[in-house]
């Protein structure tokens, strides 16, 4: 198996020397190259594939945004990171969309290695290179026109509320994924943390949110169908219900606050792979091209036959690529088959898996399988929560979630 090719770019030779020295331990795992500036980086790019590029932003001649844009055109499969110091606000906006993650200098070597390794791990879980390219090239995710309009309206009132903005973002997986990506990375000076919806909104602020939303390359706005029954409508609603249910399970399990928030985010985003599998067109006003998501759910096997992967693997790669937390990425990756996850204690994955099985049993009774029958019992036993499942089923079956058909 070929080692991934990782290219580091900076106009300061001493910084490249420091990277080379600090990353010496990775020589057996990565094929590393170091370029002094954008022009030299493009020469190296023209010589062969680049799996990951990590570039400074402020460089003479060709800055990081120009370089990454050129790389995206020449090798769209490449994972594109920024490693830079203080960046002007205008430059940060130029980088959003063209880069996948922003890491601020100084950055701990272990943090950088972990970010690269994790992204490569989930990329390689998507075995089809064409599909890998599709995900790394993705800029506009389909979102609900109604949710987008509500977001814009709230940013335009005289006294916008962070709580109301967070609630709008938490009602749409495309809005949530993008704003969590931007807030959790270092584009605007605070990076490498795992924000909640409310923290993401508070950190970005109303003006930035409005400016990001106004960028037509950020979101593909699809009108809801008049009946509310379009595939995008159902997919979005399913994410909202699963998010609320996963949070309820995590609270009932007396999880720590971080796990509760991760379960909330992962519940909303667990099916985001369907958005990445969509063809990105806006010709279907009801979102009918949304990655095969429909009233009758397709098997993972049929997805793999058509796309070369399934929505769980694709969604996990997108989440890892955009720097979402490890707990969220793993929950997205394994929510159908959690036994594939090596970790055993209760986690966001446990809450999302249980919540989805309960929701599916409630709203797809024709499949004639109970919530418990749908669950991965070996995984739940290993996590030590099998005795709590009946209580979760009872709680969610009698709660308000039971009235919100996805």
Write down all domains in the chain, each with its CATH number in brackets.
Answer: 5-124 (3.40.50.2300), 144-406 (1.10.3210.10)
pLDDT grade for 284, boundaries at 50, 70 and 90 = very low
Smallest CA-to-CA distance from 221 within 183, 174, 272 is with: 174
Structure tokens at 274: 């369907």
pLDDT of residue 373: 78
Query: pLDDT band at 190, cuts 50/70/90?
Result: low
**317 has pLDDT over 90:** yes
Other Cβ atoms within 10 Å of 281 Cβ, number: 10
Give the pLDDT mean for 136-157: 91
Lowest-pLDDT range of 110-124, 135-149, 215-229, 281-295: 281-295
Range 387-394 average pLDDT = 87
pLDDT at res. 167: 94
- Residues belonging to the chain: 406
Find the Cα–Cα–Cα–Cα dihedral 23, 28, 31, 37, rounded to 10°: 10
CA–CA gap between residue 76 and residue 68 (Å, rounded): 10
Give the angle 109-112-113 at the CA atoms, nearest 5°: 85
pLDDT at residue 226 in the model:
43
Compute the mean pLDDT over every residue in the chain, rounded to the nearest whole number.
Answer: 86
Strand partners, 141: 219
Determine the Cα–Cα distance for residues 29 and 117; give it in Å rounded to an integer. Answer: 10
pLDDT > 90: percent of the chain: 54
Higher pLDDT, 234 or 77: 77
Report the interhelical angle of 173-184 vs 257-269 (nearest 10°).
Answer: 130
Judged against a pLDDT cut of 80, whether residue 369 lies above it is answered with no
Place 322 in a pLDDT band, splitting at 50, 70 and 90: very high
């Amino acid at each position: 198996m070929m080692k991934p090719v990782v290219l580091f770019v900076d106009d300061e030779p001493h910084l490249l020397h420091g990277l080379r020295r600090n990353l010496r331990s990775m020589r057996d795992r990565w094929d590393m190259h170091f370029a002094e500036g954008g022009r030299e980086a493009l020469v190296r790019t023209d010589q062969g594939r680049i799996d990951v590029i990590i570039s400074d932003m402020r460089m003479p001649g060709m800055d990081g945004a120009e370089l990454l844009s050129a790389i995206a055109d020449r090798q769209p499969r490449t994972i594109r990171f920024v490693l830079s110091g203080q960046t002007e606000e205008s430059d940060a906006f130029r980088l959003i969309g063209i880069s996948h993650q922003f890491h601020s200098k100084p950055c701990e070597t272990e943090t950088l290695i972990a970010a690269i390794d994790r992204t490569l791990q989930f990329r390689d879980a998507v075995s089809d290179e064409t599909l890998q390219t599709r995900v790394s090239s993705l800029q506009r995710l389909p979102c609900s026109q109604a949710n987008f309009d509500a977001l814009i309206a709230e940013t335009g009132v005289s006294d916008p509320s962070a709580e109301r903005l967070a609630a709008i973002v938490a009602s749409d997986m495309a809005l949530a994924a993008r704003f969590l990506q931007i807030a959790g990375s270092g584009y605007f000076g605070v990076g490498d943390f795992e924000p909640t919806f409310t923290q993401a909104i508070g950190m970005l602020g109303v003006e930035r949110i409005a400016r990001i939303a106004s960028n037509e390359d950020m979101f593909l706005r699809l009108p809801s169908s008049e009946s509310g029954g379009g595939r995008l409508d159902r997919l979005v609603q399913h994410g909202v219900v699963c998010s609320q249910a996963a949070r309820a399970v995590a609270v009932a399990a007396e999880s720590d606050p971080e796990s509760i928030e991760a379960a909330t985010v992962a519940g909303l985003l667990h099916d985001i792979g369907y958005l990445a599998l969509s063809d990105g067109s806006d010709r279907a006003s009801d979102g009918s091209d949304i990655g095969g998501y429909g009233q009758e759910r397709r098997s993972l096997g049929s997805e793999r036959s058509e796309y070369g992967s399934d929505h769980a693997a694709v969604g996990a790669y997108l989440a890892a690529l955009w720097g979402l937390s490890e707990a969220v990425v793993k929950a997205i990756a394994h929510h159908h088959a959690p036994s594939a996850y090596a970790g055993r204690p209760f986690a966001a994955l446990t809450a999302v898996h249980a919540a989805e099985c309960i929701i599916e049993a409630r709203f797809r009774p024709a499949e004639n399988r109970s919530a418990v029958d749908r669950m991965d019992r070996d995984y739940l036993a290993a996590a030590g929560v099998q005795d709590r499942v009946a209580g979760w089923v009872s709680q969610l079956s009698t709660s308000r979630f039971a009235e919100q058909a996805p």
